[in-house]
Amino acid sequence: MFKKTRLHLVLWNALIFFLVLLAFGIAMYFYMDRVLLRETDQKLLGIAEQMNREGFKGIRGEHAHEREIDRGKVAYLFWKKDKFVGMFPEKALFTSDLDDLTPGGKEPETRTVEGETYRTLTVSAPPGIQGDFDKDEDDIADKVMLVLSIDAETNALDELLKLILSGIAVSLAVSLTAGSFLAWLSLKPIQKSWEKQAQFAQDASHELRTPLAVLQTQLELLFRKPGHTIEEESEGIYKSLNEVKRMNKLVGDLLTLSRADSNERLIEKKSFDIGELVSFVAEQFQPIAELKEITLKCTAEPLHFTGDKDRLHQLLLILLDNAVKYTGEKGQVAISCKKEAHAVQIEVKDSGIGIPEGDLPKIFDRFYRSDKSRTRKEGGTGLGLSIAEWIVKAHKGDIKAVSTVGKGTAFIVRLPIGKQSSTL
Ligand code: ATP
Ligand code: MG
């Protein structure tokens, strides 16, 4: 899918680039053509006008020492009833060229004869031409064709055309290569996040399937024993309830993460005492810890912090939940909150099972569980730490885990303090 998109992008890009260059090239070519011919045409028209005004006499003087048609010098071809009767200067053109140079219209025209390019203008012969040019009464011209060599201009235009065409070809090649590279560069992160999303959806549906399957089985079992009382089926109902709870938590977590992905504004900052919040969450966990005979210690100093209180509450719940969940009976869990130079440091430490070193870089990945069978028993879905990391990052902070298998784990969160935060 991405290969096709990339190809489309590159081709569209190259096509637009090509069209723009082509339009620019055409405009430049015709502009130069106009500019170069304008001068020639003005010269021809000026001479025609002068000839009309002064006759041929004055013009002849200009060519007194010229024999051949030179660049910038005009040749005059005389015609009588469209039959060539003479030219001036006398050898301005080869007589063989004259077959192709027939009198034309009243507007300047471009003619190519034997590889030479001329600009011509045909006008009626002035009266003075008869006496000056030819003694033979029969050869008195009725039309004069002014001929000016424009080889230099045509050559310049040809060179320009070659330059434009090669420019377009080179630019097209560059645009295709650069476009392909740029498309690859800009599509790479999109492709990555698309793949991540696809994987996320796949994992989520997979996770949802298990509780749904358990529920279905339990309900089917209930149907098979219509005479049983609730008490008799309490185990199955308890299992189903647990799966519903699990599913509820999973759907809630999925919603939080997908909202986080869609860049929705989920963080609402306000100033509050973060030390107090830490103590409050620790107190909330006390009964759960007591159930497992875990000693839960809390050291938190009062500290003003500007952030999203509800989200930070969620973060502490995730970390404490893990600490208690992954610590065996009679273990220890400690939570602390203290002020550093420009940050608040929260540490959640336990004497639990620990995380293998190889797993440490992956624990913040979605659905990642170090010991899948064990965490499934604990009700874990592997989304807690992904949400924790998102909350910390949304506060521009960082989170890391230090762990030794069999000895315990410590999660250290550092949240930078804004200007308004300070110790109470
Ligand atoms: P839940 O979404 O319910 O939190 P979970 O606890 O399995 O599920 P995370 O909180 O994201 O998921 O944790 C990911 C994994 O990291 C866990 O499955 C566990 O293997 C490991 N882990 C996290 N915290 C600890 C800890 N304090 N001690 C040992 N292992 C931990
Ligand atoms: Mg967890």
- In this structure, are residues 382 and 367 in contact, taking their beta carbons and an 8 Å threshold? yes
SS3 label, residue 423 = strand
- The amino acid occupying position 239 is K
Name the average pLDDT for the chain: 86
Q: Could you tell me which of 192, 175, 176 has the C-alpha nearest to residue 2?
A: 192
Highest mean pLDDT range out of 75-79, 218-222, 368-372? 218-222
Percentage of the chain beyond pLDDT 70 is 90
pLDDT tens per residue, range 346-364: 999 999 999 999 999 999 9
Indicate which residue's Cα is closest to atom 21 of ligand 1.
370
Ligand nearest to the backbone CA of 348: 1
Q: ∠ CA 254-287-315 to the nearest 5 degrees? A: 30
Segment 200-211 shows an average pLDDT of 88
Alpha carbon of 340 to ligand 2 centroid (Å): 27
Alpha carbon of 384 to ligand 2 centroid (Å): 4
Residue 373's pLDDT is 61
- The amino acid occupying position 237 is I
Residue 420 clears pLDDT 60, i.e. is over it:
no
Residue 389 clears pLDDT 90, i.e. is over it:
yes
Percentage of the chain beyond pLDDT 90 is 44
Residue 81's pLDDT is 81
Alpha carbon of 323 to ligand 2 centroid (Å): 8
Q: Please report, in angstroms and rounded to a whole number, the separation of the first and last CA atoms in the chain.
A: 56
Residue 67's pLDDT is 40
Residue 286's pLDDT is 94
Interatomic CA distance for residues 299 and 185, integer angstroms: 48
Mutate to test the pocket of ligand 1, among 370, 392, 411 (most ligand atoms within 8 A of CB): 370
Residue 78's pLDDT is 85
Residue 423's pLDDT is 39
Q: ∠ CA 400-401-407 to the nearest 5 degrees? A: 165
Interatomic CA distance for residues 88 and 75, integer angstroms: 6
Residue 132's pLDDT is 46
Specify which residues 402 forms β-bridges with.
Answer: 410
Residue 177 clears pLDDT 60, i.e. is over it:
yes
Atom of ligand 1 nearest to the CA of 385: 11
Alpha carbon of 384 to ligand 1 centroid (Å): 7
In terms of pLDDT, which residue wins out, 140 or 45? 45
Atom of ligand 1 nearest to the CA of 369: 18
Interatomic CA distance for residues 268 and 50, integer angstroms: 87
Residue 66's pLDDT is 45
Segment 317-334 shows an average pLDDT of 94
Segment 164-173 shows an average pLDDT of 92
Ligand nearest to the backbone CA of 380: 1
Residue 375's pLDDT is 60
Residue with tokens 């055309």: 161
Residue 281 clears pLDDT 80, i.e. is over it:
yes
Alpha carbon of 179 to ligand 1 centroid (Å): 44
Residue 52's pLDDT is 79
Residue 308's pLDDT is 94
Residue 135's pLDDT is 54
Residue 22's pLDDT is 93
How distant, in Å, are the alpha carbons of 71, 88, 91, 150, 169 from that of 68? 10, 9, 6, 15, 41
pLDDT tens per residue, range 92-105: 777 777 777 888 87
Which listed CATH number (3.30.70.1170, 3.30.565.10, 1.10.1280.10, 3.40.640.10) goes with 270-416? 3.30.565.10
Ligand nearest to the backbone CA of 383: 1
Residue 68's pLDDT is 45
Grade residue 153 by pLDDT with cuts at 50, 70 and 90: confident
How distant, in Å, are the alpha carbons of 230, 249, 351 from that of 238? 11, 17, 31
Interatomic CA distance for residues 351 and 404, integer angstroms: 9
Alpha carbon of 390 to ligand 2 centroid (Å): 14
- In this structure, are residues 349 and 333 in contact, taking their beta carbons and an 8 Å threshold? yes
pLDDT tens per residue, range 229-238: 989 989 989 9
Residue 400 clears pLDDT 50, i.e. is over it:
yes
Interatomic CA distance for residues 295 and 69, integer angstroms: 113
Residue 299's pLDDT is 96
Interatomic CA distance for residues 121 and 143, integer angstroms: 10
Ligand nearest to the backbone CA of 364: 1
Tokens of 237: 């109902």
Indicate which residue's Cα is closest to atom 17 of ligand 1.
369
- The amino acid occupying position 283 is E
Interatomic CA distance for residues 272 and 324, integer angstroms: 26
pLDDT tens per residue, range 290-315: 999 999 999 999 999 999 999 999 99
Which H or E run includes 177?
helix 151-224
Contacts of 32-36 with C-beta under 8 Å, sequence gap 24+, read 32/156, 32/157, 32/160, 33/157, 36/150, 36/153, 36/156, 36/157
Q: Range with the lowest mean pLDDT among 3-17, 76-90, 245-259, 297-311?
A: 76-90
Residue 124's pLDDT is 85
What are the extents of the domains in the chain?
2-156, 188-261, 270-416
Residue ranges with strand state E in 125-201: 143-149
CATH number assigned to the domain covering 2-156: 3.30.450
Residue 134 clears pLDDT 80, i.e. is over it:
no
Residue 206's pLDDT is 87
CATH architecture of the domain with range 188-261: Orthogonal Bundle (1.10)
Q: What are the pocket residues of ligand 1 if the criterion is a CB atom closer than 6 Å to any ligand atom?
A: 318, 322-323, 326, 350, 352-355, 363, 368-371, 375, 380-385, 409
Before 89, cis peptide (omega within 30)? yes
Grade residue 267 by pLDDT with cuts at 50, 70 and 90: confident
- In this structure, are residues 246 and 379 in contact, taking their beta carbons and an 8 Å threshold? yes
Neighbours of 202 (CB within 10 A): 11
